[in-house]
Each structure stands twice: as C-alpha cells, then as structure tokens.
Amino acid sequence: MGGLLLRVLLGLLARLPLPINHALGAGLGWLAWLLPNDLKRISLDNLARCYPDESETWRRRVARRSLMETGKALTEASWLWRAGPERIAALLDGVEGWEHVERALAEGRGVFLVSPHLGSWEFAGLHAASLGPMTSLYRPPRQKALDGLLRRSRQATGARLVPTTPGGIKALRQAVERGELIGMLPDQTPKGSSGVFAPFFGHPAYTMILLARLAAPARVPVIFAYAERLPRGRGYRYHCIPAPEGLYAEDPVEAAAAINQAVETLVRQCPEQYAWSYKRFKKQEV
C-alpha cells in the first residue's frame, strides 16, 4: 500500500508544470527550515565547519536556501524522470566549461562525468546519457519495492544503472574498458572500508576511492559538473571543470583530496544549491 501511494504521489508531481513543482518543493524546504529537525541542524553544523569566516546571518541564509533547493530536488525528480529526452534537452539553458567535455569525448577513451550533491544531479544524469552509451553507479534504496522504479526512471534517457555491489563495480570496470561514459556521485559517503579520509573545506571527510581506482590506470578523463537549477522553473545551466591532476595519483589519500578539491570548487560557485544536510563528516577513528 505504501508503494502504491508513493507511485501515485510521484505521478501527481510529474504532471505539475515545473515552476509549480519547484514552488511546492521550495515550500517543503521552507517548512523544514521553520521546524526543528536533523536536516536543519546538520546543514547549519556543516556550514559552520566549512565557512567559519562567514557571518551567522550568511550561513543561516545559505542553509535556508539549501533546504529549499533540496525540496525542489525531491519534487522535481519524478517530473524529470517522465520528461523524456527532448524535454530534458530543451531545459538546458547554457553551459560553462563545455569545452572540457568536448575535449574529453574527442579522445575516444570514455569519460567519467561526475556530479556531486549540487544543483540537480537528476537532471545532470538524465542529460548526460544523451552524449553516448552511459553506465551510472547508484545506491539501491532501502525500500526494495522502490528499486525497480528508481532504475527504470533513471534509465529513461538511455543510461544503464548498476548498483553499488561487487557485480555493479565489475560492470563499471567493463564499461570503462569499452570506453563508455561513466556517471557517479563523487561526494557520496562510501560504506565500510571503501574510502579514506581526505580534506574537504579544510576538514577530514570520508571520501570514495573508487573513482580514482577506475580512472587512474588508463588515465580516463574525468569531468566534474553540476546542473544549476534556474529560478522559477526556467531550466538548468551546466558548469563543468576538469579533474585535478592529483586524482590520478597512486596515493589514495592524495587522489581523494583531489576529488574533494574539485567538489569544493563547484560548491563555492553555488553554495545555496549544495545539499548541506548530507552527512559528509563522519567521525574519524583515532
């Protein structure tokens, strides 16, 4: 019954005009700002850690906007999943740094297109699939009944999704060997011992090493990008930067630090649209 109700809700959200959909999401985020909850607390804690030199007024404003943008990310997902390739393409309103993507594609060795929890990562993933055969890594939801829906939805524009399992990692390696596009979230906290602590905004953050391990052996190009969500449902604007050279280092901590450096560079461009409620800073054991 819960799964059925969720599908009905997602269907209703997908039928709303995007400006109204985003307004509803912003309203949910505003409610999260008004009420005591972990999302608000974590957002303020992370901003205080990452931007200690900014005023409390600035950090509270960014936290409020971040929660509102997170609300939009929640409501827009089903809209984007059902939009289709043509409507997705029509929503792209400009690109900064696209020459890095074109240069990487021209090499013909495949490309890692990685997007952090910044802006609309759903749009970024759906749009990237239009560039060629693409395999994307995803973390299966805790509710198994939603797994099929999530995979079908995110594969709507042609991408192939593989889970964060040994079988999924093997499929990623095979996609790299075929020279495909690879999509993943570079700031997703890895499970168990599959990560290392590396600086993020000057503080140790548990960081994935899978990206570097897959890209480094053949020095496959890595592009960090995010889709900025424009006001009033007008669309999205890409921002792309190449990976720092350190990502290809043999030392996993150096490679992870380069990943965090690139993510931080993008976040500083648009801090209001970063998901500050995401737990990047797990406790480091001594």
Summarised one tens digit per residue, pLDDT across range 127-145 is 998 888 899 988 877 766 6
For 91, the enclosing helix (H) or strand (E) is none
Q: Are 143 and 7 in contact (CB under 8 A)?
A: no
The pLDDT tens digits for 144-202 are 667 777 778 788 788 888 988 889 889 999 998 898 899 999 998 888 778 999 999 99
Per-residue CA distances from 263 to 1, 71, 78, 105, 240 (Å): 39, 21, 26, 21, 11
- Looking at the structure of the chain, the number of domains it has is 1
> In which domain, by residue range, is 251 found?
2-273
**Residue 285 belongs to some domain of the structure:** no
* Position 229 pLDDT exceeds 80: yes
Q: How far apart are CA 17 and CA 232, in angstroms?
A: 11
**Residue 280 belongs to some domain of the structure:** no
Give pLDDT, residue 263.
98
Give pLDDT, residue 284.
60
Residue 131 has which token pair?
């560039």
**Residue 219 belongs to some domain of the structure:** yes
| Radius of gyration, CA atoms only, the chain | 18
Q: Which residues 6+ apart lie within 8 Å of 174 measured at CB? A: none
**Residue 101 belongs to some domain of the structure:** yes
User: Between these two residues, 147 and 61, which has the higher pLDDT value?
Assistant: 61
**Residue 283 belongs to some domain of the structure:** no
pLDDT band at residue 286 under the 50/70/90 scheme: very low
Q: How far apart are CA 221 and CA 243, in angstroms?
A: 8
**Residue 281 belongs to some domain of the structure:** no
**Residue 278 belongs to some domain of the structure:** no
Backbone conformation region of residue 235, classed left if phi is above 0, alpha if psi is from -120 to 50, else beta: left
**Residue 282 belongs to some domain of the structure:** no
